[in-house]
Chain A
Amino acid sequence: MRRFSAFAIAREAARYHTGWERHWRSPEPKKKYDVIIVGAGGHGLATAWHLGKHYGITNVAIIEKGWLGGGNTGRNTTIIRSNYLQDPSAAIYEKSRSLYETMSQDLNYNVMFSPRGVIMLAQTHHEVRGYKRTAHANALQGVTTEWIEPARVKELCPIMNIDGPRYPVLGGLWQARGGTARHDAVAWGYARACSDMGMDIIQKCEVTNVRTEAGRVVGVDTTKGAIDCDKLGMVVAGHASHLAEMAGFRLPMESVALQALVSEPIKPCMDIVVMANTVHGYLSQSDKGEMVIGGGTDGFNNYTQRGSFHHVEETVRALNETFPILSRLKMLRQWGGIVDVTGDRSPILSKTPVEGVFVNCGWGTGGFKAIPGSGFAMAELMAKGASPLTDEFSMYRFREGKFIDESVAAGVAH
């Protein structure tokens, strides 16, 4: 793999850009791999990359039914933050946020990480109490966040109307090192680095069955034939219940559509990320100038990758009150992704009832920010059989009553 650098840009400019290489190979599957990862989203690719980087496991296939990064990884609003309430969440999300800081260097790929700061608005008294509590918890966890008053909110985001009357801004939880990154680049950067380590990324190949012998995984059936493996990682977000069913177990999870939309591009007017959980609206401005808006989830489970229209209306109507500037904008595109929501709104990184099968899912509406940390932890879990970062995220916690309850703190949060 030829490295990207300022020199490379100059070299290619001088020869009419004829020397750029393909970022990854597209091989046919081999008969057998040490590890198969199902799902070439950010989490699957990051898991594979960390397996190679830290454990020298490179006889790995990443199998993807569509195109890599075409699931939720390419559909989210790219918010990165780590201001969660519970200790196990803070540990894995802060690890992840810190890995984003160096991801472009680590992967030699510009993922455009932009730590522009994230405010979570408090628009009810309940939220004021909740976010103050989170700020205290974050202080104890070593995660740098701060409760800020309305005047400071207005200073950070002048286009905001903080007076209400419906949704007054009462303050906010501010994480200065939160921000955004380019979602496609995260998937592409990992894919290029995985391919470079000799891993096979097999796209347009759907896993249709998980084969087991005496309670142990031996391989998978796919639309490109049977492939054997010693270990299997299921990293398929909203499709996790479906994969689990193939392996003969059930998950404490439901899949719902979550939507986002973008406006026509306008001049720079907002250089931070704002989340308004009361109205289920999230806003940032992309480098192209589009206002990027995240909405709410459907109330019922489905796999339509589309979402109910009335959520768009509700989100935009409520955001208009806080951001009057939006009211004159045309919306250009809307899309949905199928997110995997667990009972306590926290992810599952776990061994399963089938030996050799590991599952990583349940990131729901907020797992883009977790991609590098999750990959780091999942690789350790798959290589060693345990990881301090995943211990608490076992799928059996629901049976044991050891919830990691983030629904109070975050509701539906990106």
Chain B
Amino acid sequence: MLTLSCPYCGVQCDETELAAGGEAHLKRYGPESSPEEFESYLFVRENPKGVHLERWRHAHGCGKWFHAARCTMTLEVFGTYPAQTLAPPQELVEKILAKRPGWTWREFGQSDMEGAQA
């Protein structure tokens, strides 16, 4: 059973009280965007074998959305963080990189992540 800790209410939730929301940090394209941009937002997914940044909702709890970093091969959870951000916190990124050297995420590379946090 997958368990994640909700960064808002602090509860250690098991997966039956959570609703999975899919890949996190998607760029949400709007009107005037190209078909390729809409495709990347709506359908194309990273789907990595490895660490995945994703959205969850504490559905049977505080009801809030949050983010998690989870390995899709082992289900190891590297951490959770609030949803009001464009990238994971730097310390979480470092924790992932310490165990999975060379890990990258979608189009934003390492420096973008630092930038978004600053």
Contact = CB atoms under 8 A, between A and B. Distances in A.
A253 interface: yes
Interface stretch (A115-123, A160-168, A294-302): A294-302
Contacts of A303: 49, 72-73
B96 to A, nearest CB: 17
Contact of B42 (A309, A398, A400): A398
Contact of A299 (B19, B40, B46, B72): B19
B75 interface: yes
Nearest to B35: A399
A308 B45 contact: no
B45 A253 contact: yes
A308 B75 CA distance: 11
B39 interface: yes
Given A343-B43, A399-B39, A308 B1 contact: yes
Interface in B30-71: 35-36, 38-40, 42-49, 52, 54, 70
A288 interface: no
Nearest to B37: A399
Q: Which of B2, B19, B45: most chain A Cβ within 10 A? A: B45
B58 to A, nearest CB: 14
A300 B60 CA distance: 17
Contacts of A343: 42-43
Interface string A235-253: 0000101100000001111
A304 interface: yes
A300 to B, nearest CB: 4
A310 interface: yes
A317 B49 CA distance: 32
A303 B75 CA distance: 9
Contacts of A309: 1
Nearest to B71: A302
Contacts of A310: 1, 15-16
A212 B46 CA distance: 21
A228 interface: no
Contact of B45 (A242, A254, A304): A254
A390 interface: no
A255 interface: yes
Contact of A252 (B22, B35, B43, B73): B43
A301 B36 contact: no
A308 B15 contact: yes
A251 B1 CA distance: 28
A301 B72 contact: yes
A150 B45 CA distance: 42
A76 to B, nearest CB: 21
B62 to A, nearest CB: 19
A113 B40 CA distance: 41
Interface string A378-409: 00000000000000000000111100000000
Contacts of B35: 399-401
A300 B75 CA distance: 10
Interface of B: 1-2, 15-16, 19-20, 22-23, 35-36, 38-40, 42-49, 52, 54, 70, 72-75
Given A300-B15, A300-B70, A301-B22, 14 more contacts: A241-B46, A241-B48, A242-B48, A252-B45, A253-B45, A254-B47, A255-B72, A299-B19, A300-B2, A304-B72, A310-B15, A398-B39, A398-B42, A398-B43
Interface of A: 239, 241-242, 250-255, 299-304, 308-310, 342-343, 398-401
5 contacts: A239-B49, A300-B2, A303-B73, A308-B15, A310-B16
